[in-house]
Amino acid sequence: MGRSQQTFSKTEKEKKRLKKREEKAKKKEARKAEAKENGGGIPMAYVDFNGNLVDTPPDPTMKVEIEAEDIVLGIPKKEEGEEEEFDPVRKGKVSFFDSSKGFGFIIDSENSEKYFVHVSGLIDEIFENDKVSFELEKGQRGMNAVRVKKV
């Protein structure tokens, strides 16, 4: 027999492989042609002085030099004479407290907000209509009154 040792299925697989390779090459050429047509690649973008993307390069005359020592990371230091404007201790009135269940609510005297209070956040024992001072802490369902003291 003058035929090579390759079996029929092997030659079929080889043909398929070549066909796939050709298709891939055709697709690659088509993509290249399309890119040339559309201007190709990613359009150029610049960032202006306000951090916005623009299609024109920034004006070099508007460049501002900044000294490395002038850059402040974190919270700026307080100036002398500046006082603490936020007092974490708030005042309010106990609108409801169930000592058997160990929780209740306090109404803030400043903004009339109602805050949940749990027995674990108490310093003094409290009852309904008591005037109290308290601090706020983030709880599972909003702000909770903690460190509650009678006033």
pLDDT at 84: 52
pLDDT at 13: 92
Q: Pick the range with the lowest mean pLDDT from 1-15, 19-33, 57-71, 108-122.
A: 1-15
pLDDT at 60: 78
- Residue 8 pLDDT more than 90? no
HEC per residue, 44-94: CCEECCCCCEECCCCCHHHCCCCCHHHCCCCCCCCCCCCCCCCCCCEEEEE
Look up the CATH architecture of domain 90-150: Beta Barrel (2.40)
Q: 40 pLDDT band (50/70/90 cuts)?
A: low
Sign of torsion over alpha carbons 122, 124, 129, 131: negative
Q: Residue 103's closest CA among 85, 89, 86, 122?
A: 122
Q: Pick the range with the lowest mean pLDDT from 14-18, 67-71, 90-94, 95-99.
A: 67-71
Q: What are phi and psi of 65, to 5 degrees?
A: -85, 135
Give the chain's mean pLDDT.
85
Percentage of the chain modeled with pLDDT above 70: 85
Tokens at 53, concatenated: 């993307």
Of these ranges, 40-44, 109-113, 130-134, 136-140, the one predicted with the greatest mean pLDDT is 130-134
Contact 55, 44 (CB under 8 A): yes
**C-alpha–C-alpha distance, residues 14 and 10, integer Å:** 6
Contact 100, 126 (CB under 8 A): no
Contact 131, 104 (CB under 8 A): no
How large is the average pLDDT for residues 102-106? 95
Sign of torsion over alpha carbons 95, 96, 97, 103: negative
pLDDT digits (tens, 9 = 90+) for 75-94: 767 666 555 556 789 999 99
pLDDT at 26: 95
